[in-house]
Chain A
């Protein structure tokens, strides 16, 4: 774990390799399940990898440790990305990823803390993740615990009004043991079309100027490249330092990142992966591994 945000070049290479394997698990799991979300898990891959492999104070062998860092995926439809990371981190066998979305599976379409140890909160109805994060951060303060709470929200996710209720209350309580990471991938499931008409490249981003908005609610903000593991780890290290206010890390990302035909295409928010799609994705991911 890196508490000061520093990480060696060798470790960074290892984490980049891990992120590629996460993407491979996501595509293979969705292909196996028949359908699922892809664009969002791909944009959040480096964020989730950095958190679970470097940033958070956690132990997969003790998923209920009261002193562990907490994590909430507010954009719960990106569950397969989180499952891929949890499996690789050792929370459950990677083989179990094949049960994603199947009957009786612990890997539900949206994260269900009632069935899968390691999940700190159930999510899936958008805009709801930050508020339980406030509850966890307040609980740490009330119980004299030093754990940190991390919440990943999406730019579509934070169109919901509850996010702004939460932003206000977290600011009012000065919760510097709470960090929110905005996966700012610039697309939502459908969204607004531009004047140029409907088409893959003609969608308006879900929201603009997040720094201005969140600062107005009393948050520190830090903007980074959300696919640069070193920048993520450094920003998280800074966010962990007590400052009297919660931190928003604005992670600029690309929806569908890592698979050329998915990148920046809103139609890959959620859809089936064909055999040919899978073959191409595997080819691209292997090529990325070779150039590391």
Chain B
């Protein structure tokens, strides 16, 4: 495919989230939104204003909210939960396990504010372990779209998917990668840049920084292949193995700890199917803090320069050095 160009058109996934919820309600009136008293942050408030009959305030009570969604789903409705990921993942994890994942009920979890970039709220509000936790839960589908275009498409796909879905979103505006021709499918990974020397695999908005890392490497004469993996579970094993075999070196990067996230999933797949020297670039075994986005990315090692440096080390010395 042609190399994708990161445009300067900045779009916040949360704005797309709110607007697409309205679109989903119009497409399928079984769709309802349950809010954990954060609608004006997650932008689910767009639904409360434009489709108030499909908006249910659940207050600051996430355990109950998850259970209410299970009951609604059992009666044929499609409830979307809206809150910060830290609460939807941790505060009601047992409810998700017992009344949603185990009975495989059709609940959609709109997890806003994942990763480090949460508007200077600090470690209590930064969800850096959700990919690891959610992908370990049987029956759950886990999606992490890269930009506004893909967020909308992932939400359309999730609403038609029978079963629980966890949707990982980021708060702040990010550049747009995909145009309207993008064809998001649950279970598929996408080559967003062709290369031959090393593959960078990334998920969510970190793919923007992976593409910029590829630009930095190109300046050094290194040809980086970039595979975007928005579907964490089910995951595109064939695409990951093919990319690993093509370049023989893999860097996995994500706005998440390096434990059990995309890097963990990729390592499991490559180790079993095509052992490949690899490195993981993400947050170490630590929590974040409150600070401006660029300073957080720099301190916790998520910038394009960090990704590029890891790729260079991997090419020079074989297996990379983990951040633990």
Q: What residues of chain A have their CB less than 8 Å away from a CB belonging to chain B? A: 66, 70, 112-114, 120-125, 128, 130-140, 142-143, 161-162, 165-166, 168-169, 172
List of A residues within 8 angstroms of B99 by Cβ: 121-123, 128, 131-132
Q: B58 interface residue, CB < 8 Å from A?
A: yes
Residue of A128, A138, A142 touching B98 (CB-CB under 8 A): A128
State in angstroms the CA–CA spacing of A18 and B60 once bound together.
43
- Cβ contact within 8 Å between B98 and A169: no
Residue of A130, A135, A162 touching B73 (CB-CB under 8 A): A135
- Cβ contact within 8 Å between B71 and A131: yes
Give the Cβ gap from B190 to chain A, nearest Cβ, in Å: 33
State in angstroms the CA–CA spacing of A124 and B97 once bound together.
11
State in angstroms the CA–CA spacing of A252 and B210 once bound together.
63
List of B residues within 8 angstroms of A120 by Cβ: 74
- Cβ contact within 8 Å between B70 and A132: yes
- Chain A residue at minimum C-beta to C-beta distance from B56: A138
Interface residues of B in 62-103 (CB under 8 A from A): 63-77, 79, 94-95, 97-99, 102-103
SS class, residues of chain B in contact with chain A? helix
Q: B129 interface residue, CB < 8 Å from A?
A: no
Instruction: Find the residue from B59, B61, B69, B71 having the highest chain A CB count within 10 A.
Output: B71
Q: B32 interface residue, CB < 8 Å from A?
A: yes
List of B residues within 8 angstroms of A162 by Cβ: 63-64, 67, 95
- Cβ contact within 8 Å between A139 and B75: yes
Residue of B68, B75, B103 touching A122 (CB-CB under 8 A): B103
- Cβ contact within 8 Å between B94 and A125: yes
- Cβ contact within 8 Å between A142 and B77: yes
Check A134/B103 contact, CB under 8 A, given A66-B75, A142-B32, A162-B63.
no
A–B complex contacts, Cβ < 8 Å, 9 sampled:
A113-B74, A120-B74, A123-B98, A128-B94, A130-B67, A132-B70, A133-B71, A165-B64, A168-B64
Q: B303 interface residue, CB < 8 Å from A?
A: no
Q: B202 interface residue, CB < 8 Å from A?
A: no
- Chain B residue at minimum C-beta to C-beta distance from A133: B71
State in angstroms the CA–CA spacing of A87 and B49 once bound together.
48
